[in-house]
Amino acid sequence: MIKKLFRQMLATQIISAMTVTICMLIDSILIGRFLGVDSMTAYGLANPLLLIFAALGSMISAGVQVLCGRTVGMGDREATNACYTVSAFMAAVISLLGMVLVLCFLSPLTTLLGAGRPGPDNPVFGLTKDYLLGFILGAPAFLCAQIMIPYMQISGNRTRLVAAVIAMTVSDIALDLLNVFVFHGGTLGMGLASSASYYIAFFIGAGFFVRKDCMFRLRAKLINGKTARELLSCGIPTVVNQISLVILVFLLNRLLLSIQGNLAVAAYSVISTVGNICYCFGSGVGSVAMMLGAIFYADRDRSSIRELVGVMTRYAIILDLAVTLLGVLLAEPLVRLFLGSAVEAKALAVSGLRLFVLSMLPSSLNSTFKAYYQGVNRLKLTELISVLQNLVFPLLFAFLLSRFLGVNGIWLCFVWGETAALLAFSILVWRHSGGISFSSEAYSMLEPDFGASPERCLEMGVASVQEATDVSQQIMRFCLDRGLNHRKAMLLGLCVEEMTVNIITHGFSKDRLSHNIDVRVILEEDSQVIRIRDNCVGFDPTSYLELHRSDDPAAHIGLRMVMGMVREAAYVNTLGLNNLTLVL
């Protein structure tokens, strides 16, 4: 089921990861094609500020993925709503404060980004300032749209998420074209077009959160410092990652200016924009890994985490091998989209892009694992990989290689930097596991005592009524072999059989989709725990009996019998899955 769930989530996550990148790509293409190299240089110089806002949004979004994943995994609805309320409040405050600060210090900020000082012989300053002004007005929608993404994924509402991204893309293209051919608004108009598209995406997504069946609710009384600190703690590794990128882009821009001037910066702007699209595949895999890792970690489900590590690694390798091949083959037509007839800048960008995409495979593995480690609470390791991957190693190789190879040395710094970071964190993994190993168990980086002992845990899949009966018998034998008395063993088997047959009878026939049931039985010191997970339509058996009370003793007899035998029952629907935990 994990492989199937991962595949279902991945496409949506890749598309949502492109939310900001698509707008930046469209802006970059139209700026380069129709507004000239100076405007393209201005756009490149503005990128670090855009990345800072992306970092803040990503920090809150990642905090949501980890913290909300844990609270949902534990079935704690109040903590889930506290996370939702606090994250919305933080996004609103940060975006509005950031917008005011940028508007107040727009000119000095433009100079700080490398655009020089205003003057008739420096058109880049005014172009950079105009783009920043247009972009910053959309900051509130920009940040809020980012934090909506994990909530819509967790609730399984992927269709609306895709619709919001498509609407944003279409509106950005339309508004950019109007700006270029009708309004002639220059870089200011391009920034305003992006801002408008962010608001369109935000309002489409926001429609889900006001629906009655939305699992998230804003509660002002739930705003508290503890939840805010937990969100920031879970999200800090992401902001470390983004800030490392901001510093890298800033320093590489300066290095490129010193080596070959504005043409090299314009080429790097193209490479960065195409690279951001390429990165979306690795970050998409990583985002799914982070969310599932957080949920399985809260559930202390070692076997599911181990399977997750294997699945995410395979997808990262397959997708980014394809991205690398396409990048090498399509480098020239891709660059032509941006730079048109700017021959010198185009030649720099084509050779640079072909060298850059060679870094995609190690980059994807680094990004996937650091996101997974963030989900399973290895935050320091995530931060270390971020700094090594996005700052220390690429900058080191950029300075060294550029001395001998010029601009090509800077393009090569990415593949050497990513490979060095992958090797560095692998050495830490091998130290933790006690030897060189490429297994999922080693790279999961879990402590030996994490989760249930394999000798006390039984996991099975159920796909038919006959299998439900067989699994019930296996559970009885498993319990008896481990010292439980016959009555408890029989009750465990009976609970699982009743619930799984009920799911097959009423859930499998609701649609024509393929369905699965995963059963997990854990024998703890003072209790026995059953966890049943299925991908059928949402059904909460814990509240169903309350809503359908009947004087007929035969009504819902199976459910009533199971609920009467258990000490505790908890249900949560997350990622489109029903998760029922029963404690005898």
- Do 97 and 86 lie in one domain? The reply is yes
- Do 294 and 438 lie in one domain? The reply is yes
Which residue among 383, 417, 451 closes a domain?
451
Residues found in the chain: 584
In a domain, 147, yes or no: yes
Q: Which pLDDT does position 515 carry in this prediction?
A: 83
The phi, psi pair for 527, rounded to 5°, reads -160, 170
Give buried/exposed letters for 50-59 (b at 16+ CB in 10 A, else e).
Answer: bbbbbbbbbb
- Do 434 and 485 lie in one domain? The reply is no
- Whether the Cβ atoms of residue 161 and residue 16 lie closer than 8 Å to each other: yes
- Whether the Cβ atoms of residue 393 and residue 337 lie closer than 8 Å to each other: no
The residue segments making up the domain with residue 528 are 454-583
**How far, rounded to the nearest angstrom, does the alpha carbon of residue 363 sit from its chain's CA centroid?**
15
Q: Which pLDDT does position 253 carry in this prediction?
A: 85
- Do 438 and 481 lie in one domain? The reply is no
- Do 182 and 273 lie in one domain? The reply is no
In a domain, 92, yes or no: yes
- Do 284 and 215 lie in one domain? The reply is no
Mapping DSSP onto H, E and C, the string for 488-526 reads: HHHHHHHHHHHHHHHHHHHHCCCCCCCCCEEEEEEECCC
Strands 528-534, 517-523: pairing is antiparallel
Q: How far apart are the first and last CA of the chain?
A: 25
In sequence order, which residues have a C-beta less than 8 Å from that of residue 281 and are 6 or more positions away?
A: 14, 319, 320, 323, 364
- Do 390 and 508 lie in one domain? The reply is no
In a domain, 432, yes or no: yes
- Do 399 and 312 lie in one domain? The reply is yes
- Do 391 and 516 lie in one domain? The reply is no
In a domain, 16, yes or no: no
**Cα angle value 139/28/32 (rounded, 5°):** 140
Q: Which pLDDT does position 509 carry in this prediction?
A: 74
The helix or strand, by DSSP H or E, that contains position 221, with its residue range, turns out to be none
Q: Which pLDDT does position 483 carry in this prediction?
A: 86
pTM exceeds cut of 0.85:
no
- Count of beta carbons in the 10 Å neighbourhood of residue 531: 18
CATH number, position 541: 3.30.565.10
Which residue among 435, 451, 467 closes a domain?
451
Which residue among 434, 451, 468 closes a domain?
451
- Whether the Cβ atoms of residue 48 and residue 244 lie closer than 8 Å to each other: no
In a domain, 553, yes or no: yes
- Do 417 and 499 lie in one domain? The reply is no
In a domain, 167, yes or no: yes
In a domain, 242, yes or no: no
Q: What is the mean pLDDT for each group of 10 consecutive residues in the chain (584 residues)? A: 79 73 73 82 83 81 84 80 92 91 92 86 90 90 85 80 84 90 90 91 88 85 90 84 83 85 81 83 88 83 88 93 92 79 75 91 93 89 91 93 88 94 94 90 88 81 88 91 88 88 81 81 85 82 60 60 78 77 84
- Do 411 and 463 lie in one domain? The reply is no
**How many domains does the chain divide into?**
3
Q: Which pLDDT does position 551 carry in this prediction?
A: 52
In a domain, 191, yes or no: yes
Q: Which pLDDT does position 418 carry in this prediction?
A: 94
- Do 490 and 443 lie in one domain? The reply is no
